[in-house]
Amino acid sequence: MAGYTILGRDPYWMNFWGLMILTAIEVIAVGVEISKAITMSILIGIAIPKFIMIAAIFMHLYGDADSKILTMTALFPAFFIIVMVFFIGLTSPGAPTELPAWCRPPSWL
């Protein structure tokens, strides 16, 4: 059990129920016949809080005594990944859509 509470309850159970509710909303959003743009907006909008909930509670990036150093340790490689993706996109504008032949699956030929 964690050494802190969220709204007076165990953070793992609160996180579990929060993730279950958000997953149910995702299933409903996919099951209901609405436009792709709205469905994708809902799914992306729910993915961000789910990511934060998982990282904060299960990866101990929030609430623990050493959470600040764990957060910085987790964010350090993320910075370089973002920079790498950004500069690959800037230096090669066709990079996201035009894969070299050696990189394509056989079905794409």
pLDDT digits (tens, 9 = 90+) for 23-45: 999 999 888 888 888 888 888 89
pLDDT digits (tens, 9 = 90+) for 87-104: 776 676 665 566 666 666
pLDDT given at position 105: 63
Q: What is the pTM of this model?
A: 0.57
Is the pLDDT higher at 65 or at 32?
Answer: 32
List Cβ neighbours of 7 (8 Å cut-off, separation of 6 or more).
14
> What is the rounded average pLDDT for all residues in the chain?
77
Q: CA 37 to CA 101: how far, in whole Å? A: 31
CA 74 → CA 42, 43, 78, 79, 108, distances in Å?
Answer: 27, 24, 7, 10, 36
Is the pLDDT higher at 39 or at 66?
Answer: 39
